[in-house]
Amino acid sequence: MTNDLTLNNGLHIPSIGFGVFQSAPEETAAAVETALAAGYRHIDTAAGYGNEREVGDGIRRTGIDRNDIVIETKVWVSDYGYDETRHAFDKSATKLGVEQIDLLILHQPMPQHFDRTIQAYRALERLLADGQVRAIGVSNFLPHHLAALREQTEVVPAINQVELHPYYTQPAVQRANADLGILTQAWSPIGGITFYPGWGEDRRSVLDDETVGRIAAAHGKSPAQVMLRWHLQRGRSVIPKSTNAQRIAQNIDVFDFVLSPDELIAIDALDRGVRGGPDPDEVDPSTWDLTIPEP
């Protein structure tokens, strides 16, 4: 197994990217610098995270050639629409301090305003054709959103980034992605959403799961490493988030052990079918009080 995945347009990305969701701007540059020093070469951010500028700062501080790093970011829904999304590229590229974005994706479907979602995706197609981005994709799309998108647009998304950890594996979404040739990228791959404060009551952290713990002990690895290895062996891209240097290093140190088929199946079986994040069909994200400032 290599630390590399090939997207449907031929672009190679590392299988483990570095996530910065909820990383405070003042912590982000240092975390990105630490991650790059630890060997990560793929950073996942979003206009909506408010830390694109700091991601760019962290990358530049390391002196690593920008062309050796895959930068992924997301267009927020308030910038959906053809012209708006083309301008969203300019905002993100300026904040990141780059000319070209490697992977630009739509942050959410807007089922309530799907025409604007389609126009946003058409803008991504144009950015791709013009060489301003190297690959395009989506996030939090359910199978019927993918089907509707495919009916009205040309380019098959390279990735669909969705909530995916042992307690919520979205088999129908994974199947739809696979059928269309879309890479499944897991957000909250070690289940941060199962314990982040403010995301619901009565949750159980998958980091404390007994089965995951037993498998981790058998391999002399941590529960987080076992979950990441499970994703990789299932062919998924992952973007674990951390601002802690030891955990940042731990999360990419998963290439010296192999889970058995039975262990993979045991982790698959932990799925509870209950999402931790918002249901893309129930929430109208345009009602969230979030607009993306000009650089």
Would you name the residues annotated as active-site residues? Answer: 49
Q: Is position 166 an interface residue for ligand A2P (rule: CB under 6 A)?
A: no
The β-bridge relationship of strands 70-75 and 101-106 is parallel
Residue from 84, 89, 157, 148 nearest 120 by CA: 84
In the complex with ligand A2P, which residue's Cβ is closer, 131 or 197? Answer: 197
Site string for ligand A2P, 12-41 (x = CB under 6 A): -------x----------------------
Kind and range of the H or E run holding 163: strand 159-163
Question: What is the contact mask toward ligand A2P in residues 92 to 111, using x (rule: CB under 6 A)?
Answer: --------------------
Give the span between the Cα atoms of 36 and 285, in whole angstroms.
32
- For ligand A2P, give the closer residue by CB, 143 or 277: 277
Within 36-65, the residues that bind ligand A2P by CB under 6 A are none
Smallest separation, CB 238 to ligand A2P (Å): 8
List beta partners, residue 73.
Answer: 104
Under a CB-based contact definition with an 8 Å cutoff, are residues 56 and 98 in contact?
yes
H/E segment holding residue 264: helix 261-268
- Window 243-272: residues binding ligand A2P (CB under 6 A): 243-244, 247, 250-251
Cβ 18 to ligand A2P shortest distance, Å: 10
Tell me the closest approach of the beta carbon of residue 175 to ligand A2P, in angstroms: 22
Residues 88 and 104: their CA atoms lie apart, in Å, by: 10
170-229 residues in contact with ligand A2P (CB under 6 A) are: 188-193, 207, 222, 224
Give the span between the Cα atoms of 63 and 160, in whole angstroms. 30
Query: How far is it, in rounded angstroms, from Cα 200 to Cα 134?
Result: 37
Interface positions with ligand A2P (CB under 6 A): 19, 188-193, 207, 222, 224, 240-244, 247, 250-251
